Structure 1
Amino acid sequence: MRRIQAGSALSAFGLGFTVPYLYVYVAQVRDLGATTAGVVLAVFAMAALVVLPFSGRAIDRRGPVPVLLVASGLAAVGAVGMGLASSVPAAVGAAALLGAGTAVLQPALATMIVWCSEPAGRTRAFALQFFLQNLGLGLGGLIGGQLVDVGRPDSFLLLFSIEAVMFLVLAAVVGTVRMAGSPALQGARPADGKGGGIRALLGHKAMVQLCVLGFVLFFACYGQFESGLAAYGTEAAGIAPSTLGLALAANTAVIVLAQFLVLRFVERRKRTRVIAAVGLIWALAWIIAGYAGLGHGSQAMATAAFVSTYALFGLGEAMLSPTVAPLVADLAPESMVGSYNSAFALVKQLALAVGPAVGGPMGASLHGPYIVTFVLFSLLVTVLAVRLGKQLTPVQNQPSLAAKPSRIVAQHQPEKETAAAA
């Protein structure tokens, strides 16, 4: 588990070097124009949507380690290719490889965490992963910002090379893991790689509801960070572009500082109630954002309110990290852990693709409707979480109830199978 967490953190550290600067690099440094930069970002996202439906099945059939090694290699090649790209085809091709590789890393890592943990310890394992990934992204972005120089393409080649090296380090670290020796895996690895496929997943009512809830969560928060909310802040609230960086820093700081304090609160409470509380916190965040852009206070107050919005989002994220990912794992049957993780990653990617497309234009021009829309989406999170709670067993909703993990929980049986076993 320590190796998996270290590799995950290092890969996030590498991503932090380049993610904030990809648009600027393509559009300005390589002088390929804003349109090409938009296409590159779209290809990056579409590549993830293409590979994720297949990655889960591959993880279940071959195991997460071989899939992660291939994905890390693709991502490393894509990173180097992006650093060398001086034409549109080269940039688009590199973006496809980079997007496909990085998209598969998360479900593969999540499956490895599931295989190396018992249900009772899974909450802390996923919370630690989220903490380390955010810390890695923040440090990578901070260091990358000191190395980058728009006037020197070689400085970007250095950033992409560091990113590629981090992917290879991830592969090397995870490649040393011998998962079959873990006592936590007894009965957890699929013996024949056979699962029920997409039809079985769609027939699992609780998982379908969780995916719908996940889409709304990512659409209402992550899908707005660098698009609609940024546009709203600059257009409606008069926020300086530099303040956007401060707001994102506040978001990361809250996650890093609050993660393990929040964990103590989350561990002893029902997961769906925690998610419902996140919806209320985010509704408050959007109301404060509304004050920043639509209120009549001073610019200093508007700036403080806008930064507070990002901070409240960070608090909600810290509450979700030990809640949602472990729930996906606990709902998955033994032979479909990879498929369930990949399906949820696909839902997240769809939300991240749709969120900017919807929120960007609204945040830039329809300021009032934009705030009202996302206050309602945040409240919808609360409603969906309460409904999901009715589909879960008591232990699935609150693992702390099980002083000793049962065979049914350890095998991640859907609730239909649980009822039959009972």
Structure 2
Amino acid sequence: MARTIRQVQIGNALSAFGSGFTVPYMFVYVNEVRGLGSMTAWLVFTLFALAALVALPLAGRGIDRYGPRPVLVAGAVTASLGALAFGHATGTGHILMSAFLFGAGVAVVQPALATMIVRCSTAATRAHAFALQFTLVNLGMGIGAMIGGQIVDVSRPTSLTLLFTIEALMFLVLAAVTGSVRIPAAPTDATASAAPAAGGPRSDFRTLLADKAMIRICVLAGLIFFTCYGQFESGVAAYATDVVGTSPSVLGLALGVNTLAIVALQMIVVRITARRRRSTAIAATGLVWLGAWTAAAVAGLVSNGTVATAAMLSVYMLFGVGEALLAPTLGPIIADLAPAQLLGSYNAAFSLVKQVAVAMGPAAGVLLVGAGLSPAYLLVMAGSTVLIVVLALRLRKQLTGPQDNAVRRQRVVAGSRPADTLEPRLAA
């Protein structure tokens, strides 16, 4: 099983390498390179969410019925075709149709990969597996972004076409590498919420909607993805280029700094969060990101120059610190909440929240910054990070001890009770 999860992680990292070539430049590509304007760029991100709305319910059912492997291959091939078409698109209609295909493929890949990781890990190794996946993905994206930043030239559309072609090839690599792995038919550790005793879950949607903890984590995750990930490809890029005066090459460097922070801190953070509640780690993320938006405000005030560049680099670095805190928390929470028979549906629902939130990001980012309302944009983002802290602390009331990592193993001295018994932990 260790060999299987390594194969999954490698394929995921290689596809992330391809995505890194294009992620920082989606807005620039649509708005400047193709000259289609910021509104079309906003529609592109909106279509990513619409594609997820269509594809993810089907993907979740497909994973639960047929397993994650065939669903992943189908999604990767679809994403490859979409990326290739997107890179060659010139008109509005063509680029929007390509965006829908591209978004549908990417949306399907995410829950399939998450399900693979859960089925190839145990409760004891799951947080580490998700953290390692996140580290490798960001390492791949960071390297791709830095290389892409040296290739991209807004005066040469062919340079962006090359980047999207590389991404298309990497999705095919993902399909090839993970398409041959053998995935266990069910999770190897039964820490997830047990299905109802009489006949199992009634249906995926009814079970999801009745799960108050799942609903709360989805609301919180939506805010998280809106505030951070939804801004990477749009709001922060628009703010950096239009308000601060940051060049595309510096944006690529900023993604590299983000990656460096994650790679340097992730395994350290895994050990720290292993002794803390998951809800506490999420709340800490909100505080760190509040610092990131404060740095963005400083960059906007000084504008241009070394200080502004350093401030924008610190924004991406602080985002990376928060992401490192989230990596070993969100995925394992979903895995622990999901009934074994509905693991794919729960992961698909979580991915759907992510896609919608990421698509909503440009509504606050591109539209507010484009309208000259950057102070309002920063206030919205800062307020969202404060809300993350509040919702994370309230979430712990909906989670059981194991789901919130509030139970730890303690070795008892020989005498009264067996060793390695589970004891409630009251630490934050």
Does residue 219 of structure 1 match 2:226?
Answer: yes
- Does structure 2 conserve the Cα–Cα contact (< 8 Å) formed by 1:255 and 1:314? yes
Q: What is the aligned partner in structure 2 of residue 279 from structure 1?
A: 286
Change in Cα spacing, 1:86 to 1:55, as seen in structure 2 (3 Å) is same
**Whole-angstrom CA distance in 1 between matches of 2:124 and 2:157:** 49
**Whole-angstrom CA distance in 2 between matches of 1:57 and 1:313:** 33
SS at match of 2:22: helix
1:17 to 17, 21, 28: 21
The one-letter code sitting in structure 1 at the alignment partner of 2:68 is: P
RMSD: 3.2
2:353 to 339, 344, 347: 347
Does residue 396 of structure 1 match 2:403?
Answer: yes
**Whole-angstrom CA distance in 1 between matches of 2:237 and 2:250:** 10
Alignment of 1:171-182 (within 5 A): 171-180=175-184
Change in Cα spacing, 1:399 to 1:181, as seen in structure 2 (3 Å) is farther
- State the percentage of identical aligned residues: 53
- Does structure 1 conserve the Cα–Cα contact (< 8 Å) formed by 2:21 and 2:164? yes
Deviations along 1:148-193, whole A, 9 cap, x unmatched? 5667666555444433332222222222212238993799999x99
Point out the structure with the larger helix share: 1
TM-score (norm 1): 0.84
Deviations along 1:318-344, whole A, 9 cap, x unmatched? 110111111111111111111111111
**Whole-angstrom CA distance in 2 between matches of 1:353 and 1:297:** 28
Q: What is the aligned partner in structure 2 of residue 303 from structure 1?
A: 309
Long gaps (5+) in structure 2: 412-428
Does residue 244 of structure 1 match 2:251?
Answer: yes
- Does structure 2 conserve the Cα–Cα contact (< 8 Å) formed by 1:147 and 1:155? yes
Does residue 312 of structure 1 match 2:321?
Answer: no
**Whole-angstrom CA distance in 1 between matches of 2:270 and 2:397:** 23
Change in Cα spacing, 1:150 to 1:64, as seen in structure 2 (3 Å) is same
Alignment of 1:137-148 (within 5 A): 137-147=141-151
Change in Cα spacing, 1:217 to 1:335, as seen in structure 2 (3 Å) is same
2:262 to 246, 255, 276: 255
The one-letter code sitting in structure 2 at the alignment partner of 1:118 is: T
Change in Cα spacing, 1:297 to 1:95, as seen in structure 2 (3 Å) is closer
1:127 to 128, 131, 154: 131
The one-letter code sitting in structure 1 at the alignment partner of 2:67 is: G
**Whole-angstrom CA distance in 2 between matches of 1:334 and 1:320:** 23
Q: What is the aligned partner in structure 2 of residue 205 from structure 1?
A: 212
Change in Cα spacing, 1:151 to 1:218, as seen in structure 2 (3 Å) is closer
1:107 to 94, 104, 111: 111
**Whole-angstrom CA distance in 1 between matches of 2:294 and 2:215:** 30
SS at match of 1:312: helix
Deviations along 1:114-173, whole A, 9 cap, x unmatched? 111111110000001111111111222333444556676665554444333322222222
Change in Cα spacing, 1:242 to 1:181, as seen in structure 2 (3 Å) is closer
Q: What is the aligned partner in structure 2 of residue 324 from structure 1?
A: 330
**Whole-angstrom CA distance in 1 between matches of 2:304 and 2:16:** 38
1:55 to 39, 55, 59: 59
Q: Size of the alignment, in residue pairs?
A: 402
